[in-house]
Structure 1
Amino acid sequence: MNAKRTSQITALTGALLAIAIGLHFGGLHEWRQWTLITATVIAGLPISWKAIQALRMKAFSIELLVTIAVVGALFIGEYVESAAVTFLFLFGAYLEVRTLEKTRSSLQSLIDLAPLEATVIRDGETITISVEDVIEGDRVVIRSGEKVAIDGVIVAGKAALSEAAITGESVPATKAIEDRVFSGTMVDNGYIEVIAERVGDDTTFARIIELVEDAQEAKSKTQKFLDRFANVYTPSIVILSILVYIFTRNIEMTLTFLVVACPGALVISAPVSIVAGIGNGARNGVLVKGGEIMENLAKIDTVVFDKTGTLTRGRPEVTNIHILSGDENEFLRLVAEAEMISEHHLGQTIVKEARRREIPLVNQPEEAEVIEGNGIRAKIEGKVLTVGNRKLMAANRIVIGDTVEAYAVNREKAGNTAIFAAIDGVIQGIVSIADQIRPEAMGAIKELRQNGVKQIIMLTGDNRHTAELVGKQLGLDQIHAELLPEDKVAWIQKLKDAGHIVAMAGDGINDAPAIATAHIGLAMGEGGTDISMETADVVLMADRLDQFSHAHALAKATIRNMKQNTYFAVGTVFLLLAGVLFGKVFLASGMLIHELSVLIVILNAVRLIRYSKKEVEMKEPNALLQTE
């Protein structure tokens, strides 16, 4: 029965009760009785119908207890009680539906942001069509005040985009040619033309909505337990009520016992908190994939970070190119052409530097091989290039001389990553690359510690010197460098075997195995890369570490809220049952208190929608991890 139908029946039943009161004061007692019976039947039919449907599914619902109590009240002639109980139950159900809508308001606000139309250029004409009719490859035009309807790359124009729907960030981001934009964002000012790469249900925005919907339906361990408990509890209450009647011979007390023992507030105590918590996360750019994950996130005592792209910005820059002989730009061209096959941050940084210098990259690498965690090997113009770290050089029996090694160590101590490049088995140069520590990293780590995280560890494939410099600035407990992806997995497993509840935060690409191994896998993935949204338990859409600390604090607040609701619900039931047995609580008043307890539980959960972690001063570390 939907909310509109419930409200109509509730209103009609309320009106009949008001008429019955008038008839009572008018001395028309017989008419009053029939009015009360009519009100009971009108309100009782939908309740009893739901009870019958539940029984067909072999489930014992709250409606069954209420139906038994109402039939009993009619049987003994307690028409005021029967009418009041049915009215209060329906009114409570209506209030629950209306209030629960607030807990899902974050998801609804996301859905409301979905664009309905798009302007595309086809055959030289500019036309406005439904978003459902946009196809991949369309050239989409977005002007000031318009929503982006697709995921794609800007090919013309420049604009400031509000990406709050995707990342939770309120400050508009400036986008220009070759930048990516996402469906659901809005152009604050400017004009852009975008080639559609993802449309319809494949867009990041559509997938976020789907993930949040699935997450809000996914049950936590507590919810699963309460569902099983309710199926045992309800028939147990029926049996206890029979025992109460056997011992007291008081049918009204027995019926009241049935009503006040309804576990309504208890059953709803966990899911309403989880839904509100997940909704808050979605509004703040944090996707938590379900209630069980929310519970586990609240329990973590160890956080493991990757370095590049996680503790650092993931936008490294080439700071120096040191060659042993020949022309620097020619050396850079060969290395960049080899790195064109790489998806790693550092490889793409070298390619970016070559393009910045306007060096044409025309050759496709031959016999290319990516050695995960170490570098690449490829043939360019008949020359074999080996580009990567010391392990890769050693594996290919390439000698690093003392002078080259000393230079590399000096660069690393200054915070750079040293990339060795050999041509035909001989070292030809070193590319120095440095990244910036995220400005919010220190504050986020401080917040995690304040919220109960006992140790924070870095696992990185980068060199020991740079890793130690980052770790020292951020005050990390352990730093382990020069690791392969399988080494990171082994470290995560070691921590789990030691009894720690481990969260692993990475960029969602080369860290995917470690993310999958941890109790909680957390991906830094602006715009939601495929692998981060599929592999991780928690996705930070804005690529900011303070979203992680918010997610952790939110998880603890959500579980705390759920426990408050559970304790309150159980306490209320015990107090009501004691009141019944001592003759202090009656049928209508018991139902009123019961419905109020349900409403209080929901209102308590709604507070999570407005939850925000305490502000912690975000101290900026020495920004760039290198000096010339």
Structure 2
Amino acid sequence: MKNNNDQVYRIQGLSCANCAKKFENNVKKIEGVTEARVNFGASKISVSGVASISDIEKAGAFDKLKVSSEQEELPEEPSVPFYQKHANVLLSFLFLVSGWVAFFQQGEDHLSTTILFAASIVIGGYRLFFTGLNNLIRLQFDMKTLMTIAIIGAAIIGEWGEGATVVILFAISEALESYSMEKARASIRSLMNVSPKQATILIEGTEKQISVKDVKIGDRMLVKPGQKIAMDGKIVKGGASISEAAITGESIPVSKSVNDEVFAGTFNEDGLLEVEVTKRVEDTTIAKIIHLVEEAQAERAPSQAFVDKFAKYYTPLIIMIAFLVAIVPPLFLAADWNTWIYQGLAVLVVGCPCALVISTPIAIVTAIGNAAKNGVLIKGGVFLEEVGRIKAIAFDKTGTLTRGAPEVTDVQAFHITEEELLRIIATLESGSTHPLASAILQKANQMGVAQTDYAMEHFESVAGKGIKASIEGITYQAGSPNWFLSEEHSEMNRLTESIHKLQNAGKTVIIVGSSDKIFGVLGIRDEIRESSVSSVKELKELGISDLYMLTGDNDRTAEAIGHEVEIDRVKSSLLPEDKLRYIKQLREEHGSMMMIGDGINDAPALAASSVGVAMGGAGTDTALETADVALMGDDLRKLPFTIRLSRKTLTIIKQNISFSLGLKVLALLLVIPGWLTLWIAIFADMGATLLVTLNSLRLLKVKDKG
């Protein structure tokens, strides 16, 4: 985890997982550094302690790495044509081809053949040898060390042609790994490039273009039609259709007007807006999303932890096997030394763990990046994998299956007029933070009723029941029918039929009364989201049939909503502690379960589930902070997509590990009859890397059906 005292730097030129590990170890050795951690997926390093950028760059000199502070960001590398970027490899390839032509025309022992192959090895592999020999001196055995030993050994026993071919194929293998990571990182770069680097600020009525880094909270920003919004803010003048696809993944524009929030990176389609800036550039929603995705890519998934641990023992084991293959047959079976040294060198090549090392991180990085582009934030590989294992899902009702914007649909008054009833309950609810309070206040405003006409004293909120307060000497209470029934209120019996009728229609019932009278009944309906029914249906098609709805609402309302969205297992009248207890029970029962809530009221339940998913509308900080996964578009259709992506990722990780180990085992078995050659070894190694790379990139093709 990142420490508050850590310095984070961006890295340019980080191409392979082994290079990342070596760089990390080198930085740890810098005087003044206590800890260092490379985030290979995001190309960043976190350093605890004191170190200058030049010191850190020296630690990465072996791979010509460039470093800058996280805020500055490195400039994009200039586009270099392939033939220039890999000129040494192309030149090496030409010498290799010439060498094989000479081999077939003049024989392998001819001086010109040897010179051509040697030139190919030196030109194509000098960087490899430099790193490999340094590692050998320090007794660090990574894949470059193994390859260096194998190629030099091949030259010593006269296998110049195969040694040169191994150099070229290894270079191709490294290029593949670099390409695959660049593709995986492209989704993050696309997020970084979403927001403009400059904003148009109004200063005393004059428009001025300034860098977003210089924009302050409270500044007035002008956004013209067809422009991207540069900063998070609140509209103070104008209105427009805003495309929020960059944040939510939803392509349909959202209509925005005065007092609505807008976000950096979103697109103003058709209106002239004046926006008051509410967040600094480093605190914008898009900046938080980028940060969370980069942090997520650094988190090691269980599969990756297994691979890292396995690789720790795997490399020394391969070296030991290669050593035994080289010396045991000649020493004990009088076999030919040259033949078995050659076999031992081939074992070193085939044993290179490059495919195994990248098998998991490339899949995790690709999947998390794809999810972010589609408006789903997954906070790490551990949660990405866990989503794919989910057996049961529990939904909160309000704000998750429903819109979370209830409306008063029915008003029944007794003993007083409707206006008086609304004035009383509006006065009571003016002190409440309950979601239903806004619906009641909105209804009162529509009726032209001002709650300020009455003075309120001794306000009290009773958890799970309602509210009470004294208004002009009378103590009123407003809340659930169960509250009044538990107090055995004398007038409740005559309201039973009316209450049941409202509840059967899926409406929440609020009773308003005093100690001896019931003054009214309100029916409030929270409309179901359009995406709820289709999402539940798709989840069932994915094989997740254990679906639950948890709500504090009454039984009849909960059952009506559950019936509409086709969730049979409904738990109602739950207090927050009941919901938490039930989540723990479900987790014990199913092993792995998911909870979906609004990220605010459901924080304890989200934390207790295997995976907590927040309906995190754009800009909802609480959703980003409390949940393991956030659906940025408040769209439940993103949930089946996330589960499909996770399952696909788990499958691909298993395939990658099987490919990388299986091909090597098959190649190593050829040692027994003495058939293993450097050709077969390098093709097994490169073939595994190629398969793992292309297989992982298939995750980019998993699309959101919504």
TM-score, structure 2 normalization: 0.81
Backbone CA RMSD of aligned residues: 2.9
Query: How much does 1:607 deviate?
Result: 1.1
| Matched residue type, 1:282 | A
> What SS is found at the alignment partner of 2:319?
helix
Cα distance, 1:467 vs. partner?
0.4
Q: Which one-letter code corresponds to 2:178 in the other structure?
A: V
C-alpha deviation, 1:164, in angstroms: 0.8
State the distance in 2 between where 1:57 and 1:450 align. Answer: 56
Name whichever of 2-11 and 452-461 sits farther off.
2-11
Q: Secondary structure at the match of 1:452?
A: coil
CA contact (8 A) 2:374 2:704 kept: no
The structure-2 alpha-carbon separation of the partners of 1:252 and 1:213, relative to structure 1 and needing over 3 Å to count, comes to same
1:283 to 373, 394, 407: 373
Q: Distance in 1 between matches of 2:469 and 2:117?
A: 87
Mapped partners of 1:436, 1:11: distance in 2: 64
Q: 1:41 aligns with which of 122, 133, 150?
A: 122
Matched residue type, 1:536: A
Q: Which residue of 2 aligns with 1:214?
A: 295
Match of 2:655 in 1: 564
Check if 1:148 corresponds to 2:229.
Answer: yes
Equivalent residue, structure 1, for 2:382: 292
Q: Distance in 2 between matches of 1:58 and 1:489?
A: 53
1:552 aligned to which of 636, 643, 652: 643
Q: 1:103, CA displacement in angstroms?
A: 2.1
Contact 2:667/2:680 (<8 A) preserved:
no
Q: Kindly indicate whether the alpha-carbon contact (under 8 Å) linking 2:133 and 2:148 is maintained by their aligned counterparts in 1.
A: no
Match of 1:245 among 301, 305, 326: 326
Paired letter, 2:584: Q
Give the total of aligned pairs.
615
In structure 1, the partner of 2:258 is 177
Does the 8 Å contact 1:393/1:399 carry over to 2? no
- The answer on 1:14 being equivalent to 2:105 is no
Select 1:113's aligned residue among 179, 182, 194: 194
Question: 1:193, CA displacement in angstroms?
Answer: 2.1
Which consecutive residues of structure 2, in runs of 5 or more, have no partner in the other structure? 1-12, 16-79, 331-339
Instruction: Indicate the SS of the match to 1:140.
Output: strand
1:590-609 aligned at under 5 Å gives the runs: 590-609=681-700
Q: How far off is 1:169 after superposition?
A: 0.7
- Aligned position for 1:622: none
Q: CA deviation at 1:416?
A: 0.8
Secondary structure in 1 aligned to 2:303?
helix
The question of 1:335 aligning with 2:416 is answered no
Q: 2:160 maps to what in 1?
A: 79
Equivalent residue for 2:204? 123
Identify the range of structure 1 (349-358 vs 88-97) with the bigger mean alpha-carbon deviation. Answer: 349-358
1:159 and 2:240 matched: yes
The structure-2 alpha-carbon separation of the partners of 1:184 and 1:373, relative to structure 1 and needing over 3 Å to count, comes to: farther
Of residues 261-270 and 368-377 in structure 1, the stretch that sits farther from structure 2 once superposed is 368-377
The aligned counterpart of 1:305 is: 395
Q: One-letter code of the match for 2:92?
A: T
Closer/same/farther in 2, CA of residues 37 and 381 from structure 1, 3 Å limit: farther
- Which structure has more RCO (C-alpha within 8 Å, separation ≥ 6)? 1
| Identity fraction in percent | 38
Quote the Cα distance in structure 1 between the aligned partners of 2:704 and 2:227.
32
2:326–2:342 CA contact under 8 A, matched in 1: no
TM-score norm. by structure 1 comes to 0.90
How far, CA to CA, are the matches of 1:355 and 1:49 in structure 2? 77
Counterpart of 2:349 in structure 1 is 259
- Report the CA distance between 1:6 and its aligned residue: 7.3
- Aligned letter for 1:79? W
Q: Would the aligned equivalents of 2:222 and 2:275 in 1 still touch at CA under 8 Å?
A: yes
**What is the deviation of 1:397?**
8.3
Return the alpha-carbon distance in structure 1 between the equivalents of residues 509 and 135 of structure 2. Answer: 67
Deviation string 1:550-589 (CA, Å, 9 cap, x unpaired) is: 1111111111111122222222111221234434442134
Instruction: Give 1:486 shift.
Output: 0.7
In structure 1, what is the Cα distance between the partners aligned to 2:127 and 2:472?
79
1:412 and 2:485 aligned: no
Q: Compute the displacement of 1:598 (Å).
A: 0.6
Deviations 1:142-189 (A, max 9, x none): 121111122222222121111111111111111122322222111122
Residue 334 (structure 1) shift: 4.3
Q: 1:587 aligns with which of 678, 688, 691?
A: 678
CA contact (8 A) 1:7 1:94 kept: no
CA distance in 2, matches of 1:358, 1:129: 46
Match of 2:277 in 1: 196
Report the Cα distance in structure 2 between the residues aligned to 1:395 and 1:129, rounded to whole angstroms: 63
Deviation at 1:519, TM superposition (A): 0.4
Structure 2 CA distance for partners of 1:27 and 1:514, relative to 1, 3 Å:
same
1:279-337 CA-partner distances (Å, limit 9, x unpaired): 22111111111111111111111110111111112222111222224343444344334
Secondary structure of 1:246's counterpart equals: helix
Answer whether contact 1:7 1:91 (CA < 8 A) is retained. no
Equivalent pair of 2:489/2:515 in contact (CA under 8 Å): no
Paired with 2:621 and 2:628, the residues of 1 have a C-alpha distance of 13
CA change 1:21–1:535 in 2 (3 A) is same
- 1:39 to partner: Cα distance: 3.5
5 Å-filtered alignment, 1:392-411, equals: 392-393=483-484, 401-411=492-502
* Counterpart for residue 618 of structure 1: none
Assess, with a 3 A threshold, how the Cα gap between structure 1 residues 432 and 589 changes in structure 2: closer, same or farther. Answer: same
Tell me the residue number matched to 2:600. Answer: 509
Higher mean alpha-carbon deviation, 386-395 vs 181-190, is at 386-395
Which letter maps to 1:89? Answer: F
Specify the code of the residue in structure 2 equivalent to 1:100: M
Could you tell me how far apart the structure 1 residues matched to 2:137 and 2:260 are?
Answer: 56
Q: Report what 1:626 is aligned to.
A: none
Match of 2:51 in 1: none
Matches within 5 A, 1:448-463: 448-463=539-554
Q: Work out whether residues 6 and 94 of structure 1, in 8 Å CA contact, stay in contact via their aligned partners in 2.
A: no
> After the TM superposition, which of the residue ranges 361-370 and 36-45 deviates more from structure 2?
361-370
Q: Does 1:326 align with 2:407?
A: no
Alpha-carbon distance between aligned partners in 1 of 2:147 and 2:408, rounded to the nearest angstrom: 72
Equivalent residue in structure 2 for 1:348, among 438, 441, 446 = 438
**Pairwise CA distance, 1:62:** 1.8
DSSP 3-state at the match of 2:165? helix
Could you say what secondary structure the match of 2:637 adopts?
A: helix
| CA–CA separation in structure 2 for the residues paired with 1:536 and 1:140 | 32
User: Cα offset for 1:461?
Assistant: 0.5
